[in-house]
A and B are shown apart, each in its own frame.
Chain A
Amino acid sequence: MLLSRVADSLYWIGRYLERAERTARLVDVRLDLGLDRMSNAGGWDFARLYSMVQLDEAPSALNPMALSDTLVFDPSNPAAVQACVTAARENAAQVREEISTDMWEKLNALFLSLKQARAEGGWSVRPHYIFRLVIDGIHLFEGVTDETMGHGEGWQHLQLGRFLERASATAALVDLHFRRELILPPGHAEWLGLLRSCSALEAYCRCYTADLRPERIAEFLLLNPEFPRSVRFAAARVESALRAISGLTTGGAGGRAERLAGRLHASLDYGQVDEILSEDPHVYLETISRYCAQIHGAVYQSYITYPIESALPA
């Protein structure tokens, strides 16, 4: 049993940190690819990146470092890394009594070092280090979380937020590469970028060799049951977190959120990549995103903002 407000904060800590890590990884990979200047690569192509982090503004692409600054530090950009870390920390500050001191200190240290990096300036000369700082900081937080916080309901809410964010963001990223009008030929550097943005390159190669083929990439990122950044893996975690939460609160009676998560997980368990690609992949991926949004709504209805009348003793 948790305060609803606390559950909500923990859920958002999970979501915001997942988002911060993803943005950091996306920008890092994008800047790195830009340096290679492959003949068939888009060079400083920020268009996908910008639509990924849901910025409307078309990138002017004059100075890639300035563009990446928007994605890391711009306070008016809610998907910027610093904004996400700050929001996670604010949520953590409001549930200080529920999380361990180590967790708080790691998150606070990440927040402070980002702030310091910005104040000192000059990070854009070697931008890779700031992304490393963020990714390492978040990994450290996650490791400390697993090792110092009981894996009870609060922990499950953190997992729920993290994997729900991951499922919907990975689906959106795959979508951006598989829309009919956007699809690129096999071997294009963008495919490499896609895998690396999901830190999936090494795992993919181990599974399919370094032969980068779009349908295999789609299969790996959507349907692989073992790789922790695939949508299927994330959906399985969302489902198990929800099952654990309902077991701890309503005695396992389940509910709408659990049912939706189970259905999403099953559709990925029994999905076939050739079927997905032969029909319109965009429609399939949008369905996944819609499921994620519905699960979010159902969690709020069951645990966070339920009507009081229904909960009062008779």
Chain B
Amino acid sequence: MVPPATPSDINVGSSGRDKTFVSDLGPLFSNYELGAHYDEMFESSARPRAHCDALVEELRAGSQAELGQRQLEADKAFLTQGITFTVYGDNEGTERIFPFDLVPRIITAAEWRDLERGLAQRLTAVNLFLKDVYHDARILAEGVVPRDLVQSCRHYRREMRGVHVHRDIYVSVAGTDLVRLQDGRFVVLEDNLRVPSGVSYMLANREVTKRVLPGLFDRYRVSPISHYGQALLATLRALAPPVAVDPTFVVLTPGVGNSAYFEHAFLAREMGVALVEGRDLLVHDNIVYMRTTAGLKRVDVIYRRVDDDFLDPLAFRTDSHLGVAGLLNAYRAGNVSLANAIGTGLADDKALYAYIPAIIKFYLSEEPILPNVETYLLGNPSHRRYVLEHLDSLVVKAVGESGGYGMLIGPHSSAAEREGFKAKILADPRNFIAQPTLSLSCAPCFMDHGIEPRHVDLRPYVLYGDRVTVVPGGLTRVALRKGSLVVNSSQGGGSKDTWVLED
């Protein structure tokens, strides 16, 4: 079902080649090195891609000092807006901004059309899959997806079996991680189907970029993204239980201590709905209420940014103070809708990921528009044998981890690290997958010594209510350390504005 890749699919980077630099573009670009990866800006050492001409021109019109000034303005804007995270273990409560890069990443209209179709197809199939797995389990009966893989998944919720989810929409908000390979194709690296975060950075990056590079906007037709809040609200409205005439929506946050709290408050404000914590809610007779100054008010739709585990101490983790006792029963009774539904984490399990192309074919009878990355499941003996022999060229990931933790990047690892991982894999093979080390594409970034390429990925945000919509843009995350492939903010990554051009 998932054939092992041949070693020729594996790219181990461009070591040993002669270095190629961009030529004749002046001092700002003198450190711009091209390699085996796909470069988002340059077609060759002598030529920018057609849609990047104006960007190159605009950047060349500035100097290092002048761009540095704009970078300072941008950083200050993030600080004043309070878009920061707290550095732990510091009594002063030092707050830092997430690193932001000035230079926007540009995606053409044609590229975007394919992405949009591919993302819609994928989310449609995932929802059909979740409905099926939690009801008839046809796909398991036919052996397309192994039953034990589903049932051994940590995020599979047997409490959801046979539960009717309004309109069968399980995942209404998804954030899909894409990377671009050498040939310029986008592939899906990961689906985030539980509580994907980062959309506020997509929006904040745009606002700040508009402020510091207004001249550049003038030279492009950039699709607006500021309607995301309205689109999200429309999505939630589509999910409201039919009994609710004038539904009340809330955003449920773990609280101000959560690293994504800024985003929760931001989205509540953009939608004009209340931001609640578990302690603001209570369940009585299977109806959810919030405690207001005017008494208790019924809640109909919860956009929850709290993980399944913490949602309801009666049903899941009993030590959770973040959730609402009785919420699962209110949900099962159909008195409240949750976005996303409970148990969607099954479909973004890193091992199940390998089956998404098969899932698309099974439910939609279509070929997947967006390909997957070749994935080895270490629970499978033949895959495991191959992976253990090639640890130095593969990336190994723990299926339950996110944020770039629990990962082995073969080509950048030591023999001792590989031995350590081997032991972990053998102890619990189901918990690991392996993928070839990908050559992520590079986008131009403003660094200390001019414009230099850095590896990037792309996370567009996909909404599913009355229909699937993708706000034209996404979060481009950047590995700011030279040569690094890890874009996660917890690991020294930053982000930049992402432009989708209009025709």
Among the stretches B11-19, B130-138, B277-285, B437-445, the one at the interface with A is B277-285
CB interface residues, A 294-314, toward B, < 8 Å? 303-304, 306, 308, 311-313
Q: List residues 59-100 of chain B with CB under 8 A from any CB of chain A.
A: 79-82
A250 at the interface (CB under 8 A from B): yes
Query: Whole-angstrom distance between the alpha carbons of A7 and B473 in the complex?
Result: 36
**In whole Å, how far is A23's beta carbon from the nearest beta carbon of chain B?**
21
Asked if B221 is an interface residue, CB under 8 A from chain A, the answer is no
- The reply to whether B256 and A1 contact each other, CB–CB distance below 8 Å, is no
Q: Is the CB of A108 within 8 A of B82?
A: yes
Of residues 233 to 259 in A, which have CB atoms within 8 Å of B's CB atoms?
245, 248-250
In contact, A93 and B80 (Cβ under 8 angstroms): no
Chain A: residues with Cβ within 8 Å of the partner, total of: 31
Q: A97-B274, A108-B80, A312-B284 are in contact. Are A2 and B293 (CB under 8 A)?
A: yes
User: Contacts A5-B277, A312-B284 hold; do A93 and B82 have CB atoms under 8 A apart?
Assistant: yes
A148 contacts chain B at the CB level, 8 A cutoff: no
Q: Does B112 contact A (CB under 8 A)?
A: no
* In-complex Cβ contact of B296 among A93, A245, A303, A308 (8 A): A308
A262 to B309, CA, bound (A): 49
**B291: Cβ under 8 A from any A Cβ:** yes
B246 to chain A, nearest CB (A): 13
> Does A132 touch B at the CB level, under 8 Å?
no
**A267 on interface, CB distance cutoff 8 Å:** no
Nearest B residue to A105 via CB reads B80
Question: Is B338 at the interface (CB under 8 A from chain A)?
Answer: no
Asked if residues B294 and A249 are in contact (CB atoms below 8 Å), the reply is yes
Q: Compute how far the CA of A4 lies from the CA of B277 in the bound complex, rounded to whole angstroms.
A: 11
Chain B residue, CB-CB nearest to A99: B269
A109 proximal to B (CB < 8 A): yes
Contact indicator B291/A4 (Cβ below 8 Å): yes
Query: With contacts A93-B256, A97-B268 known, is A4 near B292, CB below 8 A?
Result: yes
B266 contacts the other chain (CB 8 A): yes
Q: Are B279 and A5 in contact (CB under 8 A)?
A: yes
CB pair A96–B293 under 8 Å, yes or no, is no
Q: In the assembled complex, which residues on chain A have CB atoms less than 8 Å from the CB atom of B291?
A: 3-5, 308, 311
Q: Once bound together, how far apart are the Cα atoms of A308 and B262, in whole Å?
A: 30
**Minimum distance in angstroms from B349 CB to a CB of chain A:** 33
Instruction: Kindly state the separation between the CA atoms of A304 and B256 in the bound complex, as whole angstroms.
Output: 19
Contact of A308 among B251, B273, B282, B297 (CB under 8 A): B282
Is A90 among interface residues, defined by CB-CB distance under 8 A?
A: yes
How far does the Cβ of B229 sit from chain A's closest Cβ, in whole Å?
11
Chain B residues lying within 8 Å of A4, measured Cβ to Cβ, are: 280, 291-293
**When the two chains form their complex, are residues A96 and B265 in contact, meaning their CB atoms are under 8 A apart?**
yes
B214 interface residue (CB < 8 Å to A): no
Query: Which residues of B have CB within 8 Å of A5?
Result: 277, 279-280, 291
| Cross-interface CB contact of A104 among B82, B274, B296, cutoff 8 Å | B82
For chain B residues 321-370, which have a beta carbon within 8 Å of chain A? none
Report B-chain residues with C-beta under 8 Å of the C-beta of A28.
none
A70 at the interface (CB under 8 A from B): no
Q: Which of A69-124 contact B (CB under 8 A)?
A: 90, 93-97, 101, 104-105, 108-109, 112
Within 8 A of B (CB), among A247-283: 248-250
Structural contact, A3 and B292, CB atoms closer than 8 A:
yes
Q: A190: CB under 8 A from chain B?
A: no
Min CB gap A158→B, angstroms: 13
For chain A, residues 201 to 253, give those with C-beta under 8 angstroms from any C-beta of chain B.
245, 248-250
Residues of A within 8 A of B (CB): 1-7, 90, 93-97, 101, 104-105, 108-109, 112, 153, 245, 248-250, 303-304, 306, 308, 311-313
New contact pairs (14) apart from A94-B256, A311-B291, CB-CB < 8 Å: A3-B274, A5-B279, A90-B256, A93-B82, A93-B256, A94-B255, A95-B275, A96-B265, A96-B275, A97-B251, A104-B82, A105-B81, A303-B293, A312-B284
Q: Which residues of B contact A (CB under 8 A)?
A: 79-82, 251, 255-256, 261-262, 265-266, 268-269, 273-277, 279-280, 282, 284, 290-297
* 27 A-B residue pairs with CB within 8 Å: A1-B294, A1-B297, A2-B293, A2-B294, A3-B280, A4-B280, A5-B277, A5-B280, A5-B291, A6-B274, A7-B293, A93-B265, A94-B256, A96-B262, A96-B265, A96-B268, A97-B273, A97-B275, A101-B81, A104-B81, A105-B82, A108-B80, A108-B82, A249-B292, A250-B294, A311-B291, A311-B295
